[in-house]
Structure 1
Amino acid sequence: MSVVFDRPYEFVPRDRSILWPWMIQRLRLVDHYLKKKEGIVDREILDFDRLRASVDQGHGIVVAPNHCRYADPLAMAWPSRKARLYFYAVASWHLFNKSWFDSFGMRKCGAFSLHREGTDRKSLETAIEILTNAERPLIIFPEGQTFRTNDLVREPLDGVGFIARTAARRRAKQDDGQVVIHPIAIKYLATTSVNDWSNAQLEQMESHLGWRRQRKPDLVLRVLRLSDAQLALREITFLGSAQKGDIVTRRRELCEHLLSQAESELGVQVVDPDDIGSRNRTIRSSIASVYFSEPMDADRQALLRDLDFGCDVAHELDAYDDHTYLESTVTTEERLVETIQRIQESLMGKINRKLPLKAIIRCGEAIHVPAEKAPKGESDPILVTLADELRQMIHRHPGRRLS
């Protein structure tokens, strides 16, 4: 997720019409797109009678999926069809700026924008209004960003709880209605053996780096070597040379260097040094604010863009621990694929999506949202429950172990 430098933020409202969502579903456009662009050739939709029951009871509904791939928002069209429902969705402002076609399609499917780099009262009020009036189920990805680690679920952002609880208070005053959160677990499994695909992708990246072909191909070892090389390249870019020490420490130190450099340049105060996600969001907010509020020359603009790119790299460093993810006792083919694709994206700018995948999308039981504010100084209990439920559902489909 990067700051949009082309133009200042302008709220993109939801489109209330059901004509376009109906037509997109009728023509199976999402099915064709996900097969061609993401390699998702099959799906299994489970337990969405639970969501249908909440709709029939008139609840305001937050639909809260985990977020491991860029395909996730589109994949939610399948449970929408299964449950005979149309959704609204909160989408980051930068997604509306990729192309006019993407922006048009997102709006027609019910998405509205959220400015992550600032206080977006219109977006928050829209989300709360949707839940208060129980217009449609509202998709909010509680992790906030995409993480290419399907077996891991990050802690939900506080904003999810704030929106749900605020709507619950308004519903209680309005008609004694309820707001609920349905956790949605999205899991992608390979439909065939990944060995041939993995070998081909690793050979391509090794050749890109000028390495000799591996005579005794150990897939995990080769991936870890590439991950080390990728980190070394990042270190050379930002620190001037590859560093010594274990890879976990090196990742942490490079991440700290990038964030502290940006915070110093922008005068940002650090509240929690260990909360990389929060620090990243604060830096981006400051970048966007400065960029569009101060007259500046080309050098200053270039500096802000560089700081934003550093935030991208810091997110990348914080999001993954390849050695732990691959060397654990439950290493699966899917973990191998995810890690290869992450390295491809970083090293070569794009990933190979030709490996056929199956999406399993499961709906959890409704989590009742109380009207009271979250307790101060501790984690919001409804968000703790949400994260626990998502993790349990994800682990019901572990994937194939590496042979």
Structure 2
Amino acid sequence: MTVILDRPYQFIPPCRNDLWPGFIQRFRLFDYYLRKKEGVVSFDCRNLEVLRESLDAGDGILLAPNHCRYADPLVMGWPARMTKRHVYAMASWHLFNKHWFDSFAIQRMGGFSVFREGPDRQALETAIDILVEAHRPLILFPEGTTNRTNDVLKPLLDGVTFIARTAARRRAKRVGGKVVIHPVAIKYLCTMPIDDWAHHQLQRIEQHLGWQKPVALPLLERTLRVAEALLGLREVEYRGRCGEGTLPQRRDALIEHVLCQAEQRLQTGVAAASSSNFADQVRARVRAIRSEVHSRWFSNHPDEPEKRLLRGDVAAADMAQDLLSYPDGYLNRDSATDTRVVETIQRMQETLFGKADVGIPLHSVVELSDAIEVPAEKAPRGIEDPLITGIRDSLNEMLGRLSQEARPIG
């Protein structure tokens, strides 16, 4: 559950000295963590010279990576090591509440919290100040959340460009310097054939579902069969029956159903979105549900039956967001790759078991794009911010190219 209901939000600032990140880099501590917990065993940083140019120029630097795995923030430590410059990063409040050591490590490495369920002025001001000071680059993930879909971007949040433009205005007034954005593509590649691992993991899921008959299907078809079974289970859980139509149609119908139920119970109405895109609308509605739950939990002093209902509302919102992370056609025969199959299996494992198997070693490619200078003027009204367009186009171009380095399945 991503909404923290154990205690009210309290901003956690970053550790600003260089001793802790220097210690962590020197002894390769996050390298060990990535190998052990995420299966990321090697890396390749590309086009680092563009970042070095911005560092040498003294610019305020915002690094804007795609966000497909929990490993992404730590993977960004490798370009920091190669350029010998530590970084700051904005991290969701719930990450500071998993374990005391996680909170300790994130903060010491330069992470600071942001409250996703409502406005967080302290987090915004901290991010803006970091860019104005230009002591270290700042990492902001414009997708907001992770989704294990390496080759497809989620809709980008406009908060990233709001922070960048505000910092550009302040920096221009105070020191006369610039703020730039470097889109960063992170791509994970499998370092070994996945067939044995994938069939074994799918068999574990099938056994968990109670299937007794051995499945003798090609890997791609077997993966899709399990994915359809899991969708059917969710449909029966929330709607009482399996849906009709294609998998994308059934997915969207279930998302609509669970969100409508939560909205009706909370009496929030359907949250408005600035885009006609279905994914944008779902994101706005999920955030509105989470925000309302958090508000009622800490303001209304609910009794235990109401708390159970509120937890159910959050779980439904989380499930809707999880369902949205299965994009259309991701495992089509003409485009499926080994990394896409691994991502899908691991996403299903997280849904069922709460944890993904990391037995497939991964190689991480981190590629930086040319700097996008941030104008001091406010974003134009009535159209999408050109900065968002530039970040998205750059990320899509890099990820589209990097996806060709994965092995085809078929």
TM-score range, shorter chain: over 0.9
Q: Out of 305, 309, 312, which is 2:311 matched to?
A: 305
Report the Cα distance in structure 1 between the residues aligned to 2:354 and 2:121, rounded to whole angstroms: 34
**What residue identity is the alignment partner of 1:182?**
H
Report the Cα distance in structure 1 between the residues aligned to 2:104 and 2:353, rounded to whole angstroms: 29
Per-residue deviation, 1:328? 4.8
Q: Which moved more, 1:350-359 or 1:211-220?
A: 211-220
- Please list, as runs of the form range in 1=range in 2, the aligned pairs for 1:222-237 lying within 5 A after superposition: 222-237=222-237
Alignment check: 8 A CA contact 2:190 2:362 kept: yes
Per-residue deviation, 1:213? 4.6
Alignment check: 8 A CA contact 2:333 2:409 kept: no
What is the DSSP-based 3-state SS (H/G/I as helix, E as strand, rest coil) of the residue aligned with 2:84? coil
What is the DSSP-based 3-state SS (H/G/I as helix, E as strand, rest coil) of the residue aligned with 2:244? coil
Alignment check: 8 A CA contact 1:203 1:213 kept: no
Per-residue deviation, 1:269? 3.4
Distance change in 2, residues 1:37/1:248 (3 Å):
same
Q: Report what 2:370 is aligned to.
A: 365
Alignment check: 8 A CA contact 1:206 1:213 kept: no
What is the DSSP-based 3-state SS (H/G/I as helix, E as strand, rest coil) of the residue aligned with 2:216? coil
**What residue identity is the alignment partner of 1:148?**
R
Report the Cα distance in structure 2 between the residues aligned to 1:207 and 1:371, rounded to whole angstroms: 57
| Residues 190-216 of structure 1: per-residue CA shift (max 9 Å, x gap) | 001111111111111112222245453
Report the Cα distance in structure 1 between the residues aligned to 2:354 and 2:98, rounded to whole angstroms: 16
Q: What runs of 5+ residues in structure 2 fail to find an aligned partner? A: none
Q: Is 1:402 equivalent to 2:385 in the alignment?
A: no
Q: What runs of 5+ residues in structure 1 fail to find an aligned partner? A: none
Report the Cα distance in structure 1 between the residues aligned to 2:235 and 2:347, rounded to whole angstroms: 17
Q: Out of 343, 347, 356, which is 2:352 matched to?
A: 347
- Please list, as runs of the form range in 1=range in 2, the aligned pairs for 1:167-246 lying within 5 A after superposition: 167-214=167-214, 216-246=216-246
Report the Cα distance in structure 2 between the residues aligned to 1:135 and 1:156, rounded to whole angstroms: 26
Alignment check: 8 A CA contact 2:296 2:302 kept: no
Report the Cα distance in structure 2 between the residues aligned to 1:120 and 1:328, rounded to whole angstroms: 44
Q: Is 1:318 equivalent to 2:324 in the alignment?
A: yes
Per-residue deviation, 1:245? 2.6
What is the DSSP-based 3-state SS (H/G/I as helix, E as strand, rest coil) of the residue aligned with 1:320? coil
- Please list, as runs of the form range in 1=range in 2, the aligned pairs for 1:154-169 lying within 5 A after superposition: 154-169=154-169
Q: Is 1:375 equivalent to 2:380 in the alignment?
A: yes
- Please list, as runs of the form range in 1=range in 2, the aligned pairs for 1:75-114 lying within 5 A after superposition: 75-114=75-114
Q: Out of 263, 266, 289, which is 1:283 matched to?
A: 289
CA RMSD of the aligned region, Å? Answer: 1.3
Q: Report what 2:50 is aligned to.
A: 50
What is the DSSP-based 3-state SS (H/G/I as helix, E as strand, rest coil) of the residue aligned with 1:324? coil
| Residues 14-59 of structure 1: per-residue CA shift (max 9 Å, x gap) | 1101101000011111111111111111111111121121111111
The TM-score, its normalising length taken from structure 2, stands at: 0.95
Q: Report what 1:40 is aligned to.
A: 40
Per-residue deviation, 1:351? 1.1
Report the Cα distance in structure 1 between the residues aligned to 2:215 and 2:287, rounded to whole angstroms: 44
Per-residue deviation, 1:319? 1.7
Alignment check: 8 A CA contact 1:9 1:93 kept: yes
What is the DSSP-based 3-state SS (H/G/I as helix, E as strand, rest coil) of the residue aligned with 1:327? coil
The TM-score, its normalising length taken from structure 1, stands at: 0.97
Alignment check: 8 A CA contact 2:86 2:137 kept: yes
Report the Cα distance in structure 1 between the residues aligned to 2:318 and 2:212, rounded to whole angstroms: 31
Q: Which moved more, 1:79-88 or 1:279-288?
A: 279-288
Aligned residues between the structures: 402
Q: Report what 2:248 is aligned to.
A: 248
What is the DSSP-based 3-state SS (H/G/I as helix, E as strand, rest coil) of the residue aligned with 2:61? strand
| Residues 154-209 of structure 1: per-residue CA shift (max 9 Å, x gap) | 23101001000011111121222111000111000000111111111111111222
Percent identity, aligned pairs only? Answer: 50
Report the Cα distance in structure 1 between the residues aligned to 2:58 and 2:269, rounded to whole angstroms: 44
Q: Is 1:333 equivalent to 2:328 in the alignment?
A: no
